[in-house]
Amino acid sequence: MRYIRRVSSTPDDWSTRHSVLTTARRTAALINALSGDRPDPAEVAGVLRAHGESGPLDLTDRDITGMCAAAALLREVFAAEHADDAAATLNRLLSDHTDQVRLTSHGGTTPWHPHLDRDDDAPWDAWLLASSCMALTVLVWDRQRPPGRICASPSCRYVFISQGSGPERRYCSRRCATRERVAAHRRSRTTGRPGATA
């Protein structure tokens, strides 16, 4: 039997911070932070830092504009109802917006890992599309279903990663699920009253 070294799961472990699932969750968090009319560069930088980015994060308005466009394209993957739809969207994004897969260690500052952007100093939008497409592609491959969803709450519309055990989630958070459950309960009580019109 072959000995396989156990991967450490300490919070500062590079492989944990940059796993496929963590990268996919970062993608969802960035899509959500980049939605709206005027995303705050400081908030977007905060999301990047919370998901393991280090070094200077001086995002310009141009960076944010490009990242917003990338996020809009990635949102289409989360809108996919079936694995076939997610795969078709990812294939289009990979063909139109990424380069050949390559390995990089960022000049020896990180462990070797794959990249699909053109170089280590690619613009933020190219990096976001490439790294996100890589992670979401692996999740479709691994689970044979869409990697995430758009929250079913009409008042939310955040995206979330739905990869996990148990029944498939419809809402991005317990808060949204509870709010919709309460609203449905109130509607049913209103329509069940004598004299109420449906």
Q: What is the pLDDT of residues 121-175, one digit of tens each?
A: 899 999 999 999 999 999 999 999 999 999 999 999 899 998 776 777 889 998 9
Q: How confident is the model at residue 3 (pLDDT cuts 50, 70, 90)?
A: very low
What integer pLDDT is reported at residue 142 of this predicted model? Answer: 93
What integer pLDDT is reported at residue 10 of this predicted model? Answer: 46
Percent of the chain with pLDDT over 70: 87
Backbone φ and ψ for 148, nearest 5 degrees, come out as -165, -175
Residue bearing tokens 């989630």: 169
Per residue in 28-81, pLDDT (tens digit) is: 999 999 998 899 999 999 999 999 888 788 999 999 999 999 999 999 999 999
Could you tell me which of 77, 69, 67 has the C-alpha nearest to residue 127? 67
Per-chain mean pLDDT for the chain: 86
What integer pLDDT is reported at residue 150 of this predicted model? Answer: 96
What integer pLDDT is reported at residue 60 of this predicted model? Answer: 94
Per residue in 4-24, pLDDT (tens digit) is: 333 344 445 766 667 899 999
pTM given for the model: 0.83
Residue bearing tokens 């072959």: 2
Question: Using CA atoms, how far apart are residues 68 and 79, in angstroms rounded to an integer?
Answer: 17
Q: Half-sphere exposure of 35 toward its Cβ, with a 13 Å CA cutoff?
A: 14
Q: How confident is the model at residue 194 (pLDDT cuts 50, 70, 90)?
A: low
Q: Is the pLDDT of residue 89 over 50?
A: yes
Q: How confident is the model at residue 106 (pLDDT cuts 50, 70, 90)?
A: confident
Q: Whats the size of the chain, residue-wise? A: 198
CA 141-8-129 angle, 5° bins: 40
What integer pLDDT is reported at residue 191 of this predicted model? Answer: 72
Average pLDDT over residues 85-107: 94
Could you tell me which of 32, 36, 73 has the C-alpha nearest to residue 172? 32
What integer pLDDT is reported at residue 19 of this predicted model? Answer: 87
